[in-house]
Amino acid sequence: MPVTALSPFAAVRDDWLAMLRDRLPEQVARLSWDRDQIVAHQTRRLRALLAYAAAHSPFHARRLAGITLDQVHASDLSRLPTMRRTEMMNALDDVFTDRRLTCRVVEDALAGAGREPAVPLGRYVALTSGGSSGQRGVFVLDRPGAAQFFGSLARPLAARLAASGGAPPGGLPIAMVAAAAPMHATGLACVLTEGGGLPFRLISVPATLPIAEIVTRLEAINAPGLYGYPSVLAQLAAERRAGRLRLNPVVVTSTSETCTPELRRAITEGFGVPLVDTFGSTEGLVGTSPPGEEMLTFAEDGCIVELVDADGDPVPPGTPSAGVLVTNLENRVQPLIRYRLDDRFEVVSHDGYLRARVRGRSDDTFHYGRVAVHPHVIRAVLVSAAGVLEYQVRQTEHGIAVDAVTSGPVPGLAGLLESALAAAGLPAPRAEVRRVPQLYRDPASAKLRLFLPLCAERATINSSW
């Protein structure tokens, strides 16, 4: 009888799943840590990471030269240089600590992966991020890095299931309405949890499908858990209110896109259950909210998080950040040390784990010379306009162009938007409103970005060629 060769991912999946399963109880136990325990753990893992990166990554060896690495403390990383995606991608071969890895090896693995995750060198998993909003990033995870990342996302749900008497046999089924491609974290999570042994299992429903097809698939699955992009969840909530979706989930979780107050309200009212929000960046930073709460608790046992202003300096308490610096403490094959994310955080408390609100991305602000227009200027008009169901805003040279999914004509909307832009300081603004049947989503990740500055719009156009 012929022997069927395992696919590259099938050959490593059991080991990856076993590490995630074995480490999950420990990660759940860490939820009760106080601030001193968190910082002590961070400092131990940080020093080990720095030593490994300096020894095995030429990129980091150059940057860390002259620093006494075993004296760096998690509470003060100011002596360490910061990283940006552009400089990382320009020197990716030197960033990797496994010297057999190169950008070409990873790109070849991604190109040949198809419906399964890319497994460069037969031992790592490769993900991509950011193609719709700027320079594409490539991220390679080793087993401990993946176990920390997915375990941080899973442990709040695992803890709630344990407190309620345990998961059902085979794990709680959860429909995941997000990216289908396993080169994105939501797609990888579905493939990874197929192996069983976890308190839950994720079933993929691609967010790029027409909404009617998504409804059909969700009703066929009839899972008690629903997970997805908030923009899609809000559409599904409307379908349920209209009687076209017959689904009664006991837990609904949003991910990957900023969950605005209007989206949160629509989802909660449409499904009748409190929403759980999550933040999960491919770089490894994870945050989750308790059901019905806006504030997210960030898994700082896996990442050190620094809130900074536009110049990279620490922001004082009570000041929203312009970005965050992330140091991934577990993924050593591609060390990310003080890596800049342009997400805006507003701290609520930091006496245990960091609790913060995510206020979107700092690069969502539209800049017209010296005039900066915050997304709220535009959002406040759109969410107040009766009939506007969804929207996407593109910056133009002299104003904005809005694609809107509406329940009917919305007369006067362009004028209201121009008045708001003028009040924000933009001289002679122009606003164009176009009614569309659906909004543009990145074809690979299926994410919807609500505000597209000129630089992101050009990147999206260029990437389509």
3-state secondary structure of 103: helix
* Predicted confidence (pLDDT) per residue in 44-97, tens digit: 999 999 999 999 999 999 999 999 999 999 999 999 999 999 899 999 999 999
Matching residue, tokens 């200027």: 377
> Rounded distance, CA 376 to CA 465, Å?
32
Query: What tokens does 364 get?
Result: 């969502």
3-state secondary structure of 292: coil
pLDDT per residue, tens digit, the chain (465 aa), is: 343 456 788 888 888 888 999 999 999 999 999 999 999 999 999 999 999 999 999 999 999 999 999 999 999 999 999 999 989 999 999 999 999 999 999 989 988 887 788 999 999 999 987 644 445 789 999 999 999 999 999 999 999 999 888 888 888 999 999 887 788 888 888 888 886 788 999 999 988 788 889 999 999 999 999 999 888 899 899 999 999 999 999 999 998 888 888 889 999 999 999 999 999 888 999 999 999 998 999 999 999 999 999 889 999 877 889 899 999 999 999 999 999 998 889 888 888 999 998 877 655 678 898 887 867 688 778 866 767 877 889 999 999 999 988 878 888 999 999 998 998 889 999 999 999 888 876 655 556 677 888 864 443 333 222
> Rounded distance, CA 3 to CA 311, Å?
58
What is the CATH architecture assignment of 1-362?
3-Layer(aba) Sandwich (3.40)
Q: Are 427 and 398 in contact (CB under 8 A)?
A: no
> Rounded distance, CA 189 to CA 333, Å?
20
> Rounded distance, CA 186 to CA 171, Å?
18
Q: Rounded to two decimals, what is the model's pTM?
A: 0.81
Neighbours of 52 (CB within 10 A): 16
How many helical (H) and strand (E) elements, i.e. helices and strands, does the chain have? 14, 20
* Predicted confidence (pLDDT) per residue in 375-400, tens digit: 768 877 886 676 787 788 999 999 99
Amino acid at position 115, single letter: R
> Rounded distance, CA 456 to CA 444, Å?
16
Domain residue spans of the chain = 1-362, 365-463
> Rounded distance, CA 87 to CA 31, Å?
34
126 bridge partner residues: 118, 140
What is the CATH architecture assignment of 365-463?
2-Layer Sandwich (3.30)
